[in-house]
């Protein structure tokens, strides 16, 4: 029987050599690999990007809200249909998440839905690009600007997604990426904070490392003008990330081809600029039945996400839950199924998957 997992990290001998070379040297964290990874990642996004490597996407999101000084008494508009990290970051700074339902065709927030949720206490909008499908960032950035709101993009599944030539993560104040094993690119654990604004990147870089300001002083000397955390990425991870980034265009092309080959006859979630993290569709039979059948054939599938975030126990307990406010998020959570399209999926695998979907 075949074994086609939902996600499998794409690790090559080049990647292994890159990590081993760091182990042979004297610097294991906070060094030249991390700096080079930040520069190369920023260049991949575009010439206007600044990047700060972090220990995870969750850490990058936390840094974003901390740096933007969102806190108690503030409301942040967030999607009901997302990974909990998008919302946990808002909770950790003491602000109140205001959940908004998604568009049923893309799983994303729309500018109109966001605008309806704005109150005098709204300070920020935190969007997610659902399974790699970019939100309408032109419309959403216009809403943010009109109302004087900060704009944070969770791009954890959207590396490679561009709208009118601009990469996601660069439309507002902050964007965040995840390098967890099954994402587009992996450093085992890891993330990246990005922004077009140099002062924001500088502030986040300080917050990421204890609030330390070296200010060009002699080695070992530094000042600490603010509170901070340790959300750094190690040199081993950065070396792996750099090596993976060199294959990024091939990775994205293979994802796109796999997605196009599988989509025929399925009712898929999609939109312009999709970076093809997976293929999410609504089966015409009960999802559990389809999943069982696929699993029996050795085909991995997954669910994005098992509940709308406001239905998760922590949020339900804190804010209560009214299902009637999130019909599209409920429908996607309860019925949609996601199939693998990563670079590990071969042409042969695609025919096999289609056979078992029929
Ligand atoms: C995976 C994921 C995260 C969390 O990423 P970590 O790097 O594991 O912290 C956040 N948001 C979304 C949309 C994700 O898919």
* Residue 229: per-residue pLDDT: 98
Task: Convert the pLDDT of each residue in 191-203 to its tens digit.
Answer: 999 999 999 999 9
Length of the chain: 358
Can you tell me the distance from the alpha carbon of 300 to that of 294, in angstroms, rounded to the nearest whole number?
7
Least confident of 36-45, 156-165, 211-220, 230-239: 211-220
174-183 confidence digits (pLDDT tens): 999 999 999 9
Our answer on whether the CB atom of 33 is closer than 6 Å to any ligand 1 atom is: no
pLDDT, position 346: 97
Long-range contacts of 57-60 (CB under 8 A, 24+ apart): 57/85, 57/154, 57/156, 57/176, 57/177, 57/178, 57/179, 57/180, 57/191, 58/85, 58/88, 58/89, 58/191, 59/191, 59/208, 59/229, 59/231, 60/174, 60/176, 60/177, 60/191, 60/192, 60/193, 60/231
Q: What is the per-residue pLDDT for 219?
A: 82
Q: What is the percent of the chain where pLDDT is above 90?
A: 96
Say whether pLDDT at 216 is over 80.
no
- Going by their DSSP bridges, the two strands 96-100 and 75-79 should be labelled as parallel
Residue 184: strand, helix, or coil: coil
Atom of ligand 1 nearest to the CA of 157: 15
Q: What is the pLDDT of residues 117-157, one digit of tens each?
A: 999 999 999 999 999 999 999 999 999 999 999 999 999 99
Q: How far, in Å, from the CA of 110 to the mean position of ligand 1? A: 21
CA 128 to ligand 1: nearest atom: 13
Catalytic residues: 183
pLDDT at 221: 87
CA–centroid distance, 1 to ligand 1, in Å, is 31
Flag whether pLDDT at 293 surpasses 80.
yes
Instruction: Pick the residue whose CA is nearest to atom 14 on ligand 1.
Output: 156
- pLDDT band, very low/low/confident/very high, at 296 (cuts 50, 70, 90): very high
pLDDT reported for residue 280: 98
Q: How far is CA 145 from the centre of its chain?
A: 23
Q: 10 Å Cβ neighbour count for 27? A: 12
Question: What is the distance between the alpha carbons of residues 163 and 142, in angstroms, rounded to a whole number?
Answer: 14
Contact indicator for 10, 187 with CB cutoff of 8 Å: no
358, 340, 356, 292: which is closest to 7 by C-alpha? Answer: 340
Q: Supply the residue whose CA is at minimum distance from atom 10 of ligand 1.
A: 85
Mean pLDDT of 337-350: 98
């Amino acid at each position: 029987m075949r074994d086609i997992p939902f996600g499998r990290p794409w690790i090559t001998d080049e990647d292994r050599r890159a990590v081993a070379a760091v182990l042979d040297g004297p610097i294991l964290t906070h060094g030249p690999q991390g700096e080079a990874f930040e520069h190369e990642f920023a260049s991949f996004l575009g010439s206007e990007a600044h990047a700060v490597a972090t220990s995870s996407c969750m850490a990058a999101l936390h840094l974003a809200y901390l740096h933007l000084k969102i806190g108690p008494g503030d409301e942040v508009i967030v999607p009901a249909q997302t990974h909990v990290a998008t919302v946990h970051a808002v909770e950790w700074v003491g602000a109140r998440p205001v959940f908004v339902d998604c568009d049923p065709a893309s799983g994303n927030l729309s500018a109109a839905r966001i605008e309806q949720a704005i109150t005098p206490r709204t300070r920020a909008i935190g969007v997610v690009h659902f399974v790699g499908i970019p939100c309408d960032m032109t419309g959403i950035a216009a809403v943010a600007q009109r109302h004087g709101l900060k704009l944070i993009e969770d791009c954890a599944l959207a590396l490679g997604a561009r709208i009118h030539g601009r990469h996601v993560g660069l439309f507002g104040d902050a964007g965040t990426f995840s390098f967890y094993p099954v994402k587009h690119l992996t450093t085992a654990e890891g993330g990246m904070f990005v922004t077009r604004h140099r002062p924001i990147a500088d502030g986040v870089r300080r917050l990421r490392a204890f609030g330390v300001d070296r200010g060009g002083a002699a080695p070992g000397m530094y000042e600490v003008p603010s509170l901070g955390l340790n959300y750094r990425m190690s040199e081993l991870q950065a070396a792996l990330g750099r090596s993976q980034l060199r294959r990024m265009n091939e990775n994205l092309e293979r994802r796109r081809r796999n997605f196009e080959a599988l989509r025929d006859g399925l009712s898929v979630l999609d939109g312009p600029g999709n970076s093809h993290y997976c293929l999410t569709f609504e089966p015409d039979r009960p999802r559990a039945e389809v999943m069982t059948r696929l699993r029996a054939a050795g085909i991995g599938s997954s669910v994005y996400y098992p509940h709308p975030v406001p239905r998760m126990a922590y949020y339900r307990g804190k804010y209560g839950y009214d299902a009637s406010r999130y019909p599209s998020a409920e429908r996607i959570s309860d019925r949609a199924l996601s199939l693998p399209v990563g670079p590990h999926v071969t042409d042969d695998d695609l025919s096999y998957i289609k056979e078992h979907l029929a």
